[in-house]
Amino acid sequence: WGLEPLRQAIDQRLLLARDVARAKWNVKAAIEDLPREEQVIAAAVRQGRALGLPEAWIRSVFRAQIEASKTVQRELYRRWQAEDAGRFDDAPDLANTIRPELDRLTAQLLRSMAANQALLHDGGRKADVAVAMHGLQARAFNPAAADQALAPFLSPD
């Protein structure tokens, strides 16, 4: 169905939050990086505008994706602190491995938003959208983050 690439992009982005957390944990980085978040949103706005998407919607969607990712990262940091976890030897590199994958997912997410714009903005179809988006794998390990990531697509415009 048309929303499957959108659901997959949201899910994969959320699942990547674990790798982001491991990479940050290894270098003792803060979870929140507001300048980086603004760069990500600005880049998404530029790409999305080129696809004819409204800036406010792009900002809302990507702010939600970032907040959902931080929800996952905070939960993992709490767990690792409680376990007194050490360094992760297999954590991928944030700049060279994770960010290019996030960029790929951003492009997929934006293309899917553009392809499904009419459906996603049809107030009468919110139940259909909810059903299509429900099967996030990420819901299994963090239901709150999954709800955060999906909120801009399920709430009334």
Question: pLDDT digit string (tens) for 131-154?
Answer: 999 888 888 889 999 999 999 999
CB proximity list for 50: less than 8 A, separation 6 or greater: none
Instruction: Give the span between the Cα atoms of 30 and 115, in whole angstroms.
Output: 35
Token pair 């949103």: residue: 41
Give residue 2's pLDDT.
86
pLDDT under 70: residue ranges of the chain: 1, 156-157
Give residue 34's pLDDT.
96
Give residue 136's pLDDT.
87
Give residue 119's pLDDT.
93
pTM for the model: 0.94
H or E, element range at 42? helix 34-50
Give residue 1's pLDDT.
53
CB proximity list for 129: less than 8 A, separation 6 or greater: 3, 119, 120, 153, 154
Give residue 157's pLDDT.
56
Give residue 17's pLDDT.
97
C-alpha closest to that of 124 among 88, 151, 157: 157
Give residue 139's pLDDT.
86
